[in-house]
Amino acid sequence: MASGHIQGRLLKMFVRMIRPRFVLELGTFSGYSALCMAEGLEGDAQLHTFEVFDEQEDFIRKWFQGSPYAERLHLHIGDALELVPKMDIQWDLAFVDADKRQYIDYYEMLLPRMKKGGFILADNTLWYGHVLEDRQKESDLQTRGIMEFNEKVAADNRVEKVILPIRDGLTIIRLK
């Protein structure tokens, strides 16, 4: 479930390069990727991360509070699709790593809430190679969700995009 070490280092490096003020993460799980991104934050930059599975809360908070980034990290427990629209923040960087069936919903929610020139990083966009399967025969909802997301992003003229074929595929999307 968690990002691996190389992806963690890459996420930190993206944060260093982009120098975001507000970072959003969809899907906290253990908090590993949030901590990696927090490492790269500078100045008064803040990271808000969303996790729907409330049994994770104590575990995540323990690691966040024990880290040097406790003041920058904000954990929200609940469905990101409900919580993010209630926040009055325009995001510089978003890392999408929650339910694969909802990637298009996340994308549509995020686009109007991103700053011009902001970046969305979407994880697992090669989905173990399943994205190459015959779509007509494909019944797995997660695979279908990623396939439809990839097609939507590829056809979307509002953004520039590239898929990095590291680990399970990481799509970098920049709002024009």
Ligand X SMILES: C[S@@+](CC[C@H](N)C(=O)[O-])C[C@H]1O[C@@H](n2cnc3c(N)ncnc32)[C@H](O)[C@@H]1O
Chain residues in the site for ligand X (CB under 6 A): 1-3, 26-27, 29-30, 32-33, 50-53, 79-81, 97-99, 102
Q: Rounded to the nearest whole angstrom, what is the least distance from the CB of residue 75 to ligand X in the complex?
A: 11
* Helices vs strands, H then E, count in the chain: 6, 7
List all residues 6 or more positions away from 10 whose beta carbon is below 8 Å from its beta carbon: 166, 170
Nearer to ligand X, 18 or 81 (CB): 81
Nearer to ligand X, 5 or 135 (CB): 5
Q: Rounded to the nearest whole angstrom, what is the least distance from the CB of residue 32 to ligand X in the complex?
A: 4
Q: Rounded to the nearest whole angstrom, what is the least distance from the CB of residue 44 to ligand X in the complex?
A: 23
Q: What are phi and psi of 29, to 5 degrees?
A: 55, -105
| In 51-140, alpha helices (H) | 57-65, 80-83, 103-110
Which residue number places its CB atom closest to ligand X? 27
Nearer to ligand X, 33 or 150 (CB): 33
Nearer to ligand X, 16 or 135 (CB): 16
State the residue for tokens 């409330």: 54
Q: Rounded to the nearest whole angstrom, what is the least distance from the CB of residue 4 to ligand X in the complex?
A: 8
Q: What are phi and psi of 135, to 5 degrees?
A: -65, -35
